[in-house]
Amino acid sequence: MINQSLVFPMKLFILIGLLTQLPFIASYGTLWLRLPFRSPFHLSDGPLYDSSAYAQCKAHPEIPLYKGGLLNGFPKLTKLSIGNARNAAAGDYTPAFVLRNLTNGYKYCFSTWVKIYGATSALIRASLSAENSQSLCVGSVLAQSGCWSFLKGGFVLNSPSKLSILYFQNSDDRELDISLASASLQPFSDEQWRANQDYIINKERKRAVTIHVSDTKGNMIQGAQISVQQVSKDFPFGSAIAKTILGNSPYQAWFVKRFNAAVFENELKWYATEPEQGRVNYTIADQMLEFVRANQITARGHNIFWEDPVYTPAWVRNLTGEQLKSAVNSRINSLMNKYSGEFVHWDVSNEMLHFDFYEQRLGPNATLEFFMTAHKSDPLATLFMNDFNVVETCADVNSTVDTYISRLRELQRGGATMDGIGLEGHFTVPNPPRIRADLDKLATLGLPIWLTEIDISNKIDRQTQAAYLEQVLREGFSHFAVDGIMLWTALHPYGCYQMCLTDNDLNNLPTGDVVDKLLGEWQTSEAHGETDQHGSYSFLGFLGEYSVNVRYTDDRTTNATFSLCKGDETRHFSIHL
């Protein structure tokens, strides 16, 4: 193993000058590849996105995705030495691909297999350094010794780059050796990316329907007029609400018109229901639940515990030992017994990847006990891990995709009923290829994935905020493993946490326009037609509930309803006139 301090430091501008002249540069075990110019694909339909991902270490790497894409035909990388991430800031770069003539706007999907030597495990991060932009984390993997781990990510450039460096580093201070294999880099134009999204939406969110019309004797009727309308949606799309919705009829009507799911912003959190020890009050939460019930809205339970001590009741922070154990048992039994069967989900121990208030005080099995007790209290509720910076960035070492997967598996091995993957999604600048890669990897667990708290930072202008929101929502809705999306846009007189959809008079902001546009796009518009010579009428519809009107003559008409649930086969529905 080579000590990183022995590697000759090369500043980026020096490196660029050298790499324009030499095909390969090797220095003290560090290998650089200079890639020749290749134009991005310009096929009308383009390549099909490959959602393959692997969360388990393997004895041998799989073949590269897209046959390597832009990296096809280049030598297999051998074992190299890498150091810690801080060296990059000083201009010392470790194993890397040097990429020429990357196009702005293209989505570049990257993947490689990683094997480490000299450590039991290590978080290996892939970063991109391009002209006129800051270094960007494009993917990471928690690599294990003795086997190959799969790193999948990607990036988008805001401006073209004649020369970019994709390099790999250990996230901590340890020196180790690394092998890379089956690397791949595949570009997608905006049109190709959207085409792939539409392909998944048509496959996963829609289903073909054929309506058969006949008389009571079974004779098929040709020329019957068919009118079909979707009356409800199967996919849960909603937002946070706060007590400000109570008694506010215009806000309630605005919400119900758009959303079929809701989550209480703060009103179920421990500091809201029991601000003083022994004074439990669910009045506000009960009133909000009445609104939810009255409008047949699906509700998530958020949250039982919050590991961040800042949002733990002050009186709880002063407890220790048996007093704290008694308090948490009282909290979970009170909350779960009162609302058993009311909430489809519970975020059990919020943001446990970043904070560990209860485990520090009650021992390493505290979170496990929370999950087991919650399941016993409400066995029909889906129990979620919920955390931030899992899909927002790969630069947060506390909440990488592999860290999330590792913690979830740890709880499952302990006996916890772990049913759902909650991804908060508080974005500044989203990275669609890496978001999709992260979702691919999480999907290998076979659990429902929800984007639970989607918003975009208010530090950017409203038009850009809206554009970024549309990117995130399209990524979520077009991923086969995502089962629901929740916005974090509860309206207050002062505004919203980060992002509002409307002003205080319920006039749409640009973000609200985006939501309304997508809601319309993701719903079957009213379909009209007539039956063919076989008495049939077919269409492709979004999953949900439908009403259908059939008219043959003025005196021969009927109405019916049917459900369109997920399935690969055409849904056949027969109507007699």
The residue behind tokens 């446990």 is: 352
Residue 453 annotated among the catalytic residues of the structure: yes
CB 456 within 8 A of CB 469: yes
- One-letter amino acid at 318 equals N
Residue 491, φ and ψ in degrees, nearest 5? -90, 130
How far apart are alpha carbons 538 and 212 in whole angstroms? 9
Q: What is the DSSP letter of 74?
A: S
Residue 351 annotated among the catalytic residues of the structure: yes
Burial of 555 (0-12, 13-18, 19+ CB in 10 A): exposed
Q: Please report, for residues 45, 199, 220, 300, 324, the alpha-carbon distance to residue 479 in angstroms, rounded to integers and kept in the order given.
A: 19, 10, 39, 21, 41
Give SS3 for 298.
strand
Angle at the Cα of 513 from the Cα atoms of 508 and 519, rounded to 5 degrees: 120
- One-letter amino acid at 298 equals T
Angle between helices 432-443 and 401-413 (to 10 degrees): 20
Q: Which residue is catalytic, options 267, 307, 351, 392?
A: 351
Give SS3 for 339.
helix
Sheet strands side by side (includes 536-542): 536-542, 206-214, 571-576
Q: Spell out the residues 6+ positions from residue 309 whose beta carbon is closer than 8 angstroms to its own.
A: 317, 355, 357
Of 205, 276, 235, 158, nearest to 484 by C-alpha is 235
Of 167, 193, 198, 151, nearest to 40 by C-alpha is 193
Segments of 171-248 assigned E as strands: 176-188, 206-214, 225-233, 237-241
Q: Quote the tokens at residue 259.
A: 């959303």
Segments of 525-566 assigned E as strands: 527-530, 536-542, 544-553, 556-564
**Which stretch of DSSP H or E encloses residue 452?**
strand 449-456
Of 440, 371, 443, nearest to 412 by C-alpha is 371
**Which stretch of DSSP H or E encloses residue 513?**
helix 510-521
Give SS3 for 368.
helix
Q: Which residue is catalytic, options 265, 274, 369, 453?
A: 453
Residue 330, φ and ψ in degrees, nearest 5? -65, -40
How far apart are alpha carbons 24 and 503 in whole angstroms? 57
Q: Reduce the secondary structure of 410-429 to three states and give it as a string.
A: HHHHCCCCCCEEEECCEECC
Q: How far is CA 334 from the centre of its chain?
A: 32
Q: Spell out the residues 6+ positions from residue 77 whose beta carbon is closer than 8 angstroms to its own.
A: 31, 33, 95, 179, 180, 181, 183
**Does a cis peptide bond (omega within 30 degrees of 0) precede residue 504?**
no
Catalytic residue annotation:
351, 453
